[in-house]
A and B are shown apart, each in its own frame.
Chain A
Amino acid sequence: MRHETTLAGYRSSSGDPDSLYPEYKSTRLRAPDRPLTIQPHTLSEITGPAYGHGKIRELDHDLTRQHDGEPLGERIIVTGRVLDGDGRPVRNSLVEVWQANAAGRYVHSGDRHPAPLDPNFTGAGRCLTDDDGRYRFVTVKPGAYPWGNHENAWRPAHIHFSLFGPAFATRLITQMYFPGDPLFEYDPIFQSVRDPRARERLISTFDLETTEPEWALGYNFDIILRGRSSTPFERPHE
Chain B
Amino acid sequence: MSENTSLETAPSQTIGPFFHYALFEEDLSELVAPDRPDAIRVEGKIFDGAGAVVPDAMVEIWQANPAGRYRHPEDDRDEVPLDENFLGFGRVPTDENGGFSFVTVKPGVVPGPDGVSQAPHILVSIFARGVLKRLATRIYFPDEDEANEHDPVLASIEDPEQRSTLVARSEDGAFRFDIRLQGEKETVFFDV
Report yes or no: B10 in contact with A223, Cβ–Cβ below 8 A.
Answer: yes
Option from B21, B77, B111, B130 in Cβ contact (under 8 Å) with A108:
B21
Given A42-B111, A108-B18, A49–B48 Cβ distance below 8 Å? Answer: no
Given A11-B6, A198-B11, A173–B18 Cβ distance below 8 Å? Answer: no
| Contact residues of B: prevailing secondary structure | loop
Measured between beta carbons, the chain A residues less than 8 angstroms from B64 are 44
Residue tally, chain A, CB below 8 Å to B: 91
Option from B77, B121, B131 in Cβ contact (under 8 Å) with A30:
B131
A144 to B11, alpha carbons, bound, how many Å? 21
Report yes or no: A32 in contact with B186, Cβ–Cβ below 8 A.
Answer: yes
Given A13-B12, A29-B49, A87–B1 Cβ distance below 8 Å? Answer: yes
Residues of A93-151 at the interface with B, using a CB-CB cut-off of 8 Å, are: 96-98, 100, 106-108, 110-111, 122-124
Report yes or no: A96 in contact with B23, Cβ–Cβ below 8 A.
Answer: yes
Which of A71-79, A164-172, A212-220 interfaces with chain B?
A: A164-172
Report if A14 contacts B (CB, 8 A). yes
Measured between beta carbons, the chain B residues less than 8 angstroms from A236 are 75-77, 111
Report yes or no: B134 in contact with A30, Cβ–Cβ below 8 A.
Answer: no
A123 to B23, alpha carbons, bound, how many Å? 11
A87 to B26, alpha carbons, bound, how many Å? 32
Report yes or no: B11 in contact with A193, Cβ–Cβ below 8 A.
Answer: yes
Given A24-B130, A171-B125, A43–B8 Cβ distance below 8 Å? Answer: no
Measured between beta carbons, the chain A residues less than 8 angstroms from B87 are 49, 51
Which of B32-40, B50-58, B167-175 interfaces with chain A?
A: B50-58
A150 to B188, alpha carbons, bound, how many Å? 31
Cβ contacts A145-186/B at 8 Å (1 or 0 each): 000000000000000101000111101111100000000000
Measured between beta carbons, the chain B residues less than 8 angstroms from A37 are 156-157, 188-191
Residues of B within 8 A of A (CB): 1, 3-23, 25-26, 48-50, 52, 54, 56, 60, 62, 64, 70-72, 74-79, 87-89, 110-118, 121, 123, 125, 127-136, 152-153, 156-157, 181-183, 186-192
List 9 interface pairs A-B (beta carbons < 8 Å), by A numbering: A17-B12, A21-B132, A24-B132, A30-B181, A43-B118, A44-B64, A172-B10, A174-B11, A197-B8
